[in-house]
Structure 1
Amino acid sequence: MKKEWFTISVYAENNVGLLNRISGIFLKRHINIESLNVSKSEIEHVSKFTIVVNTSKDWTQKIVQQIEKQIEVIKAYYHDDDEIIYQESALFKVASNLLFDERQIQNIIKDSNSQIVTVSRDFFVLAKSGRRHEIDEMHEALLPYGIMQFVRSGRIAVSKAEMPISKLLKNFYQD
């Protein structure tokens, strides 16, 4: 079983308990959700769940089929990384003295194309958006200097190809 990264896009009505039922589908198969994001979609009154998993294509197909059986789910898709454009975001909280005392910190900020969000007497916060490996690289570079806090968002993604759901629902709501 060859494991790969897949991004699952789920278009659904945003009802209480749906996230719990979707996560239960992964739990039953002992598949870890690596990243999860839920937001409004391009379609009014429809939410988009973006779920990242590292598993086989066969398991991903089975999961998508199970997700689509949920009443509130309109449609679910899966994509490999070549079929989508995606990003993640992260915040790094680091001791303020390092910003001025460690020249290498300034190089890390510049080389990683990150932004300083805020600076206070005790700490500063860096924001980094990019692909997972870019955030991981920045994390590794900052680790020797001490990271006070770190948080990463779930993946956000759009498909390179047109999503049939958009056309389908636009026609549905116009009728």
Structure 2
Amino acid sequence: MENNWYTISVYSENNVGLLNRISGIFLKRHINIEALNVSKSEINSVSKFTIVVNTTEQWVKNIVGQIEKQVEVIKAFYHNDEEIIYQESALFKIKSDLLFDERNIQNIIKENNSQIVTVARDFFVLSKSGKREEINKMHEQLEPYGIMQFVRSGRIAVSKAEMRISSLLEEFQHN
């Protein structure tokens, strides 16, 4: 079986230590977590973990099964990239003089549909949202000019198909 990109969505109670136990499931199988995001979900008091891995479908099925055995976990799902809509965000900190002196910087900003978040005397900050490849492309374009700081978020994603989590979450909320 070949490796593919999978996004795992985990709905859970927000309890201390759960992230550690979930990451331990990946550690035992020597599978690297490529991206991780934790946020509140569409239901109050329920968190959503979004985890990106590159592995086989059999391994991702096993992992989801192990995650669901955690007491706080309500439900876990996995999807390939075609089954979800996803984005990442990135911030680039660049020297301010480049914004005014280097015309190509303005072209890079425009071509990549990025935004200037702030401009200070010594630096400016760009924001870019999109797919990982789009952020990588912008990083490559800016690298020759010198990137003072760079940070990228984990993937955030919603499924194209209904995940039937709402009824489970409503049940959970009433208990």
Q: Does the TM-score normalized on the shorter chain lie above 0.5?
A: yes
Deviations 1:134-170 (A, max 9, x none): 0010001001111000000011101111111112222
Give me the whole-angstrom Cα distance separating, in 2, the residues matched to 1:142 and 1:134. Answer: 13
Secondary structure of the corresponding residue to residue 15 of structure 1 = coil
Q: TM-score, normalised by structure 2?
A: 0.97
Q: What's the CA shift for 1:172?
A: 4.9
> Between Structure 1 and Structure 2, how many residues are aligned?
175
Q: TM-score, normalised by structure 1?
A: 0.97
Q: Percent identity?
A: 77
Give me the whole-angstrom Cα distance separating, in 2, the residues matched to 1:167 and 1:158. Answer: 17
Tell me the equivalent position of 2:93: 93
Tell me the equivalent position of 2:19: 19
Deviations 1:14-40 (A, max 9, x none): 100000000000011111101100010
Tell me the equivalent position of 1:79: 79
Letter of the 1:2 partner, please give it. E
Q: Is 2:41 aligned against 1:29?
A: no
Q: Is 2:130 aligned against 1:130?
A: yes
Q: Which runs of 5+ in 1 are unaligned?
A: none
Deviations 1:98-136 (A, max 9, x none): 111111100000000000000111100000001111001
Q: Which runs of 5+ in 2 are unaligned?
A: none
Give me the whole-angstrom Cα distance separating, in 2, the residues matched to 1:169 and 1:103. Answer: 51
The structure-2 alpha-carbon separation of the partners of 1:174 and 1:70, relative to structure 1 and needing over 3 Å to count, comes to closer
Give me the whole-angstrom Cα distance separating, in 1, the residues matched to 2:94 and 2:140. Answer: 13
